[in-house]
């Protein structure tokens, strides 16, 4: 049961794409339409963003976050960077 709504909380991670890893993934790592190198980068970005979300919620006095939204985008010239952003509502339960 939620006792108090504190407010919106966010976390972000921006990761630079490695050109050599990208080329390697294109030629070697794609199996069945999946790329383990890209999946690993997505997972890493997600972990960083969620950890930042958690730390920010604690700083606000919350002990939980509800209604989490997780987004991925490429940014920079020619999509050279990956941005992972997460937001939710910090609460006390």
What number is the average pLDDT over the span 17-35? 58
Residue 44 has pLDDT above 80, yes or no: yes
Residue 90 has pLDDT above 80, yes or no: yes
Task: Name the band, by pLDDT with cuts 50, 70 and 90, for residue 77.
Answer: confident
pLDDT at 28 (0 to 100): 55
Cβ density class 28-59: b for 16+ within 10 Å, e for less: ebeeeeebebbeebeeebbebbbebbbebbee
Sole residue written with tokens 């006390």: 92
Task: Name the band, by pLDDT with cuts 50, 70 and 90, for residue 82.
Answer: confident
């Amino acid at each position: 049961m939620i006792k108090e709504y504190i407010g919106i909380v966010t976390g972000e991670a921006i990761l630079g794409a490695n050109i050599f890893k990208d080329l390697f993934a294109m030629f070697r790592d794609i199996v069945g339409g999946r790329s383990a190198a890209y999946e690993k980068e997505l997972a890493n970005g997600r972990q960083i963003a969620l950890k930042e979300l958690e730390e920010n919620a604690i700083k606000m006095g919350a002990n939980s976050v509800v209604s989490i939204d997780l987004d991925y985008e490429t940014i920079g010239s020619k999509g050279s960077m990956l941005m992972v952003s997460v937001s939710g509502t910090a609460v006390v339960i």
